[in-house]
Amino acid sequence: MAKIIDGKAISAQIRAEIAAEVASMPVKPGLSVIIVGDDPASKVYVRNKHKACGEVGIRSEVIELPASATQEELDAVIDRLNADESVSGILCQLPLPKGLSEDEVIARIDPKKDVDAFSAVNVGHIMLGDPVFLPCTPAGVMELLKRSGVEVKGKSCVVVGRSNIVGKPMAMLLLKADGTVTVCHSKTADLKAVTSAADILVVAIGRAKFITADMVKEGAAVIDVGMDRDENGRLCGDVDFDAVSEKAGYITPVPGGVGPMTITMLLKNTVAAAKLQAGEKNQ
């Protein structure tokens, strides 16, 4: 039976560390979250981020724009936040309603305030192995591995999924930690042959219970980034948890695995942004 990696407990531990750090800062970091429209899932994510900030002493505001907002109106909000010294971090909750450009929004946020690490500048730093901000979900995965005692160095690491927000930056962080990394996607021939050779398997595809026990190596560390619904509408991951946990050495549950870590890493980045900006001011 695999050791269950408890993302809630690890997340609580890191949030306590962040709260202690924030308490020692003379000027508290501030996060501004923009939400456009009424997408219910986005509203829940934004509410959770706002609440998490409050719990660690980070100031936060939620700026709500109607779904009818124009690109110019959204751009103007970002410009105002970029110029506001009391704002350390900015994020715009995605997806945006039709007619608004996510690329333009990401490009417009000042890279020094881009706490999601989505901008080309920050992605470039990640690619160069010298990140300014760590991409939140992949950074959360790395913390789960580290704090569970799973060594990455020299291990065969397989990432299933190549999205810009999870799969690709995940591969970069594993590589930086000296893993030997393979990235799989929907066109991968014989996925099972690749996944079943992995010492560390990170899955981010968005298909409920897609990874079955026969696709996993005995004793592997299996990290499930997926947030899906099963046939009964219950939240589940991309990994068939019940069967895979009988074979893996470590496994993250859904919920309670990677999920809580993403917001925790956002809090960490907001603190890092505040420090970066304070450092520049004092130069």
Q: Is 71 known to be catalytic?
A: no
CB-based contact 181:141 (threshold 8 Å):
no
**Minimum Å distance from CB 90 to ligand NAP?**
19
Nearer to ligand NAP, 29 or 259 (CB): 259
**Minimum Å distance from CB 163 to ligand NAP?**
3
Nearest to 2 by CA among 245, 275, 258: 245
> Which structure tokens are listed for 18?
């962040």
Q: Is the dihedral of CA 110, 114, 119, 120 positive or negative?
A: positive
> Which structure tokens are listed for 43?
């509203």
Nearest to 223 by CA among 235, 214, 231, 205: 205
Nearer to ligand NAP, 147 or 207 (CB): 207
**Minimum Å distance from CB 100 to ligand NAP?**
18
Burial zone of 62 (CB within 10 Å; 0-12 exposed, 13-18 middle, 19+ buried):
middle
**Minimum Å distance from CB 71 to ligand NAP?**
23
Q: Which residue of the set 116, 199, 238, 240 is catalytic? A: 116
- Contact partners, residue 134, CB within 8 Å, separation at least 6: 117, 126, 142, 173, 265, 268, 269
Q: Which residue is nearest to ligand NAP (CB)?
A: 163
> Which structure tokens are listed for 122?
């920050």
Residue numbers at the binding site for ligand NAP (CB under 6 A) = 137, 160-163, 165-167, 184-188, 191, 204-207, 225-228, 258-259, 262
Q: Is 51 known to be catalytic?
A: no
Q: Is 190 known to be catalytic?
A: no
3-state secondary structure of 159: strand
Nearer to ligand NAP, 13 or 70 (CB): 13
User: How far apart (Å, rounded) are the C-alpha atoms in residues 188 and 39?
Assistant: 33
**Minimum Å distance from CB 183 to ligand NAP?**
9
Nearer to ligand NAP, 195 or 277 (CB): 195
Nearer to ligand NAP, 87 or 171 (CB): 171
Catalytic annotation, residues: 49, 93, 116
